[in-house]
């Protein structure tokens, strides 16, 4: 019976110290996050077009109206 690659890796990982196992988990988590959470590049021209789109401007005005009460929460706006 042949041992699968994953089983072989698991056996090898068992031989590592707890610190090395933790490092490996963090390293793998970082690689997975980096590979799956990539933010696509949006060209500046697309952003400009969106900012100038009347429908988007209307939506932003509506959102601002809905959240106007939160402006009185005592927090300063960012510059």
Would you state the structure tokens that stand for residue 41, as one six-digit string?
Answer: 């590049």
Q: Is residue 45 part of a domain?
A: no
Q: How far apart are the C-alpha atoms of 24 and 18, rounded to whole Å?
A: 10
> Does some domain include residue 9?
yes
> What is the average per-residue pLDDT within 22-33?
94
pLDDT at 1: 46
Please check whether residue 79 lies inside any domain of the structure.
no
Report residue 35's pLDDT band, with 50, 70 and 90 as the boundaries.
Answer: confident
Angle made by CA atoms 46, 49, 50, in degrees to the nearest 5: 85
Mean pLDDT, residues 69-73 taken together: 70
What is residue 15's predicted lDDT score, i.e. its pLDDT? 97
Q: Is residue 59 part of a domain?
A: no
The range of the structural domain enclosing residue 13 comes to 5-36
Distance (Å, rounded) from C-alpha 14 to C-alpha 57? 56
- Alpha-carbon torsion 70, 71, 75, 76, what sign? positive
Average pLDDT, the chain: 86
Q: What pLDDT score was predicted for residue 24?
A: 96
Whether 63 maps to a domain, the answer reads: no
Residue that the structure tokens 């590049």 belong to? 41
Note the pLDDT of residue 26.
96
Q: What pLDDT score was predicted for residue 56?
A: 93
Domain assignment of residue 78, yes or no? no
**Total domain count for the chain?**
1
72 part of a folded domain: no
Q: Determine if the pTM surpasses 0.85.
A: no
For residue 15, being part of any structural domain is answered with: yes
């Amino acid at each position: 019976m042949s041992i699968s690659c994953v089983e072989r890796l698991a056996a090898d990982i068992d031989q590592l110290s707890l610190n090395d196992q933790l490092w490996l988990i963090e390293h793998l988590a970082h690689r997975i996050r980096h590979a799956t959470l990539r933010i696509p590049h949006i060209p500046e021209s697309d952003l400009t077009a969106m900012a100038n789109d009347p429908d988007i401007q209307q939506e932003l005005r509506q959102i601002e109206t809905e959240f106007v009460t939160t402006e009185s929460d005592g927090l300063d706006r960012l510059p």
